[in-house]
Structure 1
Amino acid sequence: MRGRGLALNRRGTGDDEGSVLLLVLGYLILALAVLFVCVCATDLYISQKRLDGLADAAALAGADGFTLQVEGEVPRATLTDAGVAEQAMPLVRYAGVEATIVDAGTPDGVSARVTVAALWHPPLLSPFVPDGVPLQASATSRTALR
């Protein structure tokens, strides 16, 4: 009587050969997907931290682009937008990171503010994000002489 239901073997249990293989393959695919996501997330985090460090270095270099003025007997360091940009651009250009300066200037004549941007491309699965993900970092640094 082979009608409905599972085919029974000699011991009276159902035939379930191969079902473990499907589970193992399913969990393997899930594990690989989680691994790919973790690799991409880690690379994105590291790229953002590198860009943050580059923005910090560019702002620090921009803060060195001051002009020294003496008012009475007191020296005063004054920053200009052109001086900040002049100091920050070579550092970003030769840093070894494909980044560009979005903005470099001084909001108050004493602080240098630099904003850099870059595109992040995932190391795995990059066909899904062909244009990349835009990253941006800003940093501010003050001159030593006020």
Structure 2
Amino acid sequence: MNRLLRRLVKDDDGSTLVLTIGFAAIALALILAVTAATSLLIERRRLFTVADGAALAAAEAFALEQVRFDGTAASPTLTATAIDRAAAEWTRRAAGALADVRVDGASADARSATVTISSAWHAPVVSILLPEGIRLDVTSTARAVFVD
């Protein structure tokens, strides 16, 4: 029995199979992580595109009655209700395939509108290493310009 154990300890046949399986598992985990990171980046860029459009629509959401003239230049006055309505409408129309998109905030100062939008992101392949999903949020600002 001792002779058999010594021979098994010294015999290294089949040890490369264990290494191959280990490296294959590491390679698969790396491929899944890179795939998820790429998907997250693309989803965030798509969300930024929607947020930019919503901020632009909100910054241009003024009526002609809301334009004031100070003697040298004309400038629009933005209202919170018009900004909220324009941002929500743009987001609803432009969301497309983004999951669970919502406007988290829309605000305005004298001449610019700031819109915060969030969306749910899910990894393309759910594994032990990656979360099932996270919430992405982006903020975009656009300035209202009135050309006389």
TM-score (norm 2): 0.81
Aligned Cα RMSD in Å? 2.5
Aligned counterparts of 1:34 and 1:87: Cα–Cα separation in 2: 42
1:72 deviates by 5.3
Letter in 2 for 1:139: S
Aligned counterparts of 1:7 and 1:86: Cα–Cα separation in 2: 76
What SS class does the counterpart of residue 118 from structure 1 fall into?
strand
Structure 1 residue 64 and structure 2 residue 63: aligned? Answer: no
- Structure 2 residues without counterparts, runs of 5 or longer: none
Q: Contact (CA 8 Å) 2:75, 2:145: kept in 1 or not?
A: no
**Paired residue for 1:26?**
22
**Paired residue for 2:48?**
52
Aligned counterparts of 1:63 and 1:122: Cα–Cα separation in 2: 34
**Paired residue for 1:11?**
none
**Paired residue for 1:122?**
123
Q: Equivalent residues in 2 for 1:95-114 (5 A)?
A: 95=94, 96=96, 97-98=98-99, 99-106=101-108, 108-114=109-115
Deviations 1:3-37 (A, max 9, x none): 652359xxxxx532211111111111110011111
1:118 deviates by 1.0
- Structure 1 residues without counterparts, runs of 5 or longer: 9-13
- Choose 1 or 2 for highest CA Rg: 1
Q: Contact (CA 8 Å) 1:82, 1:105: kept in 2 or not?
A: no
Aligned counterparts of 2:47 and 2:104: Cα–Cα separation in 1: 13
Overall identity of the aligned pairs, in %: 34
Deviations 1:88-124 (A, max 9, x none): 2111002112310011120x22110100011111111
Deviations 1:34-68 (A, max 9, x none): 11111111111111121122111110111111232
Aligned counterparts of 1:7 and 1:55: Cα–Cα separation in 2: 65
- Give aligned pairs, total: 139
Aligned counterparts of 2:5 and 2:59: Cα–Cα separation in 1: 82
Aligned counterparts of 1:18 and 1:77: Cα–Cα separation in 2: 77
1:129 deviates by 3.5
- Structure 2 residue aligned with 1:16, among 12, 19, 26? 12
Letter in 1 for 2:81: A
Distance 1:126 1:142, change over 3 A: farther
